[in-house]
Homo-oligomer: A and B are copies of this chain.
Amino acid sequence: MSSHSAAARYDILGIGNAIVDVVARADDAFLSRHDMRKGGMALIDAEAAEALYAAMPPGIETSGGSAANTCAVAAGLGARVAYLGKVADDQLGGVFRHDIVSGGVHFPSAPLRGAAPTARCLILVTPDAQRTMNTFLGACVSFSEADVDAALVADSAITYLEGYLFDPPAAQAAFRRAAAVAHAAGRQVALSLSDAFCVDRHRAAFRDLVAGHVDILFANETEICSLYEANDFEVAAEAARRDVALAALTRSEDGSVILRGAETLRIAAAPADVVDTTGAGDAYAAGFLTALTKGRKLDVCGRMGSAAAALVIGDYGARPRGDLPALAGAVMG
């Protein structure tokens, strides 16, 4: 961060696909019958979404969206947070807005009127607690450069972008614009790779961005291996070390590895009663960035990430219903 930039009003500005999750339980046979890749995220159109929803068991609806989840958790942990993303002017858009705003996140994006409905992600949780996601992007497709509030980006210490933004075509331009504005204002840009298949769909663009425009990178093991087309985690981690100033790489129950220059930290996973892994990576990024923007050391950032992830995987849905302020106090002091 440039020493010339003024104090930021927000610690974290998230930009991402604004989505309402529909979470239901299913067995592996259901996934096979509907040709789903377990653990992944598939994009589906309105017709496929309707057909899949009709076949799904009863569910619960909760606000989702990767960066939005991170924002909600970070605000709960005490960070000053803003979010940009596109919902429609409909009931599910109202639910999304309510949940992020009532969680303490500034959300100035205007809703889309008279066009596609609010995005939905149909999530099947199997008995092994793995989540398999099917996203109908709806209103998110209209998120573009014009939706990037430059003043807000310039007033946020870290602009955090989700890799899923590479799927809606106009959002890639929004992504690049946000990064340019952030750096021009002496701020930092963070990126989460989101999903190995998403990386696969856009690998060259991701490689360019990570090497040229990203300061802080979040990824899990399969995502970082996909980005660098590496068969070995350590090889991929070394490539990340060369590309970005700071990388936090998560490895499920094996915890996370944090790389900064020559420094390498290995952080254990926090113990958890695993019910639904939806949002684990989003919560990790929230804990990590909250501690980082509060000036904590890297090991505290990693532990805050692990603790937030453990809380979210103990219940259905991507946003924890546990006591986040208490968790922040316990880990960050």
Q: Which residues of A contact B (CB under 8 A)?
A: 22, 25, 53-63, 72, 90-92, 95, 98-100, 102-103, 117-118, 316-317, 319, 321
B91 & A117 in contact (Cβ 8 Å cutoff) = yes
B59 & A99 in contact (Cβ 8 Å cutoff) = yes
Docked complex Cα distance between A321 and B103 (Å): 26
CB-nearest residue of chain B to A120: B91
B91 & A58 in contact (Cβ 8 Å cutoff) = no
Shortest Cβ distance from residue A131 to the other chain B in the assembled complex, whole angstroms: 14
Select one of B55, B103, B117, B317 contacting A60, CB under 8 A: B317
A95 & B321 in contact (Cβ 8 Å cutoff) = no
Interchain residue pairs with CB less than 8 A apart (5) = A58-B98, A58-B99, A58-B319, A59-B99, A60-B62
Shortest Cβ distance from residue A99 to the other chain B in the assembled complex, whole angstroms: 4
Query: A72 with B98: in contact, given A25-B321, A92-B91 (CB under 8 Å)?
Result: no
Docked complex Cα distance between A103 and B59 (Å): 10
Docked complex Cα distance between A72 and B59 (Å): 12
Contacts of A317 in B (CB 8 A): 60
Select one of B54, B62, B99, B321 contacting A98, CB under 8 A: B54
Binding site of A, secondary structure by majority: helix, strand, loop or mixed?
A: mixed
A103 & B61 in contact (Cβ 8 Å cutoff) = no
Contacts of A54 in B (CB 8 A): 98, 102
Docked complex Cα distance between A317 and B321 (Å): 13
Contacts of A72 in B (CB 8 A): 58
Contacts of A53 in B (CB 8 A): 98
Of all A-B residue pairs in the complex, the 7 with the closest CB atoms, nearest first, are A61-B61, A58-B99, A91-B91, A60-B62, A58-B103, A60-B60, A91-B92
Shortest Cβ distance from residue A61 to the other chain B in the assembled complex, whole angstroms: 4
Contacts of A63 in B (CB 8 A): 58
Select one of B25, B56, B102, B117 contacting A58, CB under 8 A: B102
Contacts of A58 in B (CB 8 A): 63, 72, 98-100, 102-103, 319
Shortest Cβ distance from residue A33 to the other chain B in the assembled complex, whole angstroms: 15
Contacts of A117 in B (CB 8 A): 91
Shortest Cβ distance from residue A53 to the other chain B in the assembled complex, whole angstroms: 6
B319 & A102 in contact (Cβ 8 Å cutoff) = no
Select one of B25, B57, B102, B118 contacting A56, CB under 8 A: B102
Shortest Cβ distance from residue A232 to the other chain B in the assembled complex, whole angstroms: 39
Docked complex Cα distance between A56 and B60 (Å): 18
Shortest Cβ distance from residue A34 to the other chain B in the assembled complex, whole angstroms: 14
A60 & B61 in contact (Cβ 8 Å cutoff) = yes
Query: A57 with B103: in contact, given A25-B321, A321-B25, A321-B316 (CB under 8 Å)?
Result: yes
Docked complex Cα distance between A139 and B321 (Å): 30
Shortest Cβ distance from residue A254 to the other chain B in the assembled complex, whole angstroms: 29
Docked complex Cα distance between A321 and B275 (Å): 12
Docked complex Cα distance between A316 and B316 (Å): 10
Docked complex Cα distance between A95 and B21 (Å): 12
Docked complex Cα distance between A117 and B90 (Å): 11
Contacts of A59 in B (CB 8 A): 98-99
Of the listed residues A72, A92, A321, the one surrounded by the most CB atoms of chain B closer than 10 A to its CB is A321
Docked complex Cα distance between A117 and B91 (Å): 9
